[in-house]
Structure formats: C-alpha cells, structure tokens
Amino acid sequence: MTKKDLKAEELEMLSEEEEIFNLESLITDGVDARIPITIEFPTKNGTKKAAAMIRPLSNIEWNNATRIARKNFTTSNEVELLKQALYTKEGEPFPKELVPKLPNGVVLKLVKLLGEISGIEVTKESLEMAREMLVGF
C-alpha cells in the first residue's frame, strides 16, 4: 500500500467517524440558526419546564453586548447577550423588557448554553473576569 493509499484510507475513516461540514455553510447558517431549548424555571410551586429557542451570536454581537453593559449600569453583560439571542418557542424575539426579570440562575444557565452554541467556553471564572473588567468603566 502506497503513502497516497494510506492517506486516502485515513481520510475515509475520519469522514465515517465524524461528519465534516463546509465552513462557509456553517458561517452562513450560524446566526440564523434557531436551536430549541428547555429551561428549568423556578416557581413558588417548584421547578417548571419552559420551551424557548436560542441562536448563536457573532463576535461583533457578543462584543456589542459587552459595550452596552459597560455604558449602562442598570444592565449586565448576560442580560444584553440574551436580549439578542433568546426567542420564544414560536421563533419570535423574546420580549426585551422581560429578559432582566429572569431569575439569575436561569440567566447564567442560558448564557452558558449561548456560549457553547456560539463557540465560546463560558465558565464561572470567565464570567467573573468579565464582571471585573467592567468595574471602573
């Protein structure tokens, strides 16, 4: 077996194990994608499940949310991110005035999920670092 044959066999094995996508189509689908999610929502009668949709944010959208939060001390980076990314289960934008009213734990879970689908690893440490960076602005 030649080196070329081995390379072709290896590529075939990789494509069987993992589907490879065209980068251009992933980018164009990216921020237009709507991903159904289930939210665990705490109520006085226990936790209830709620359906919604979320979409990935682009780098520019993510950074703009951070800028808005830096300039406006009545909001947070997490709230501004969700104002852009959260949708109703029918696919309509979630009412922006309701986002700040979400319980903090729900917001943090949604932002972690948003980071994952936007290609960002959102950890407790990275959220704390972002908050510290906002101090003084």
CA distance 77 to 23: 29
Q: What is the pLDDT of residues 70-122, one digit of tens each?
A: 898 899 999 999 999 999 999 999 999 999 999 999 999 999 999 888 888 76
**pLDDT score for 137:** 46
**pLDDT score for 128:** 65
All structural domains of the chain, each given as residue ranges with its CATH number in brackets, are: 33-134 (3.30.2220)
Q: What is the pLDDT of residues 38-75, one digit of tens each?
A: 989 999 999 999 999 999 998 899 999 989 988 988 99
Residue 129 pLDDT > 80: no
CA distance 98 to 115: 21
Tell me which DSSP letter residue 85 carries: H
pTM score, whole prediction: 0.70
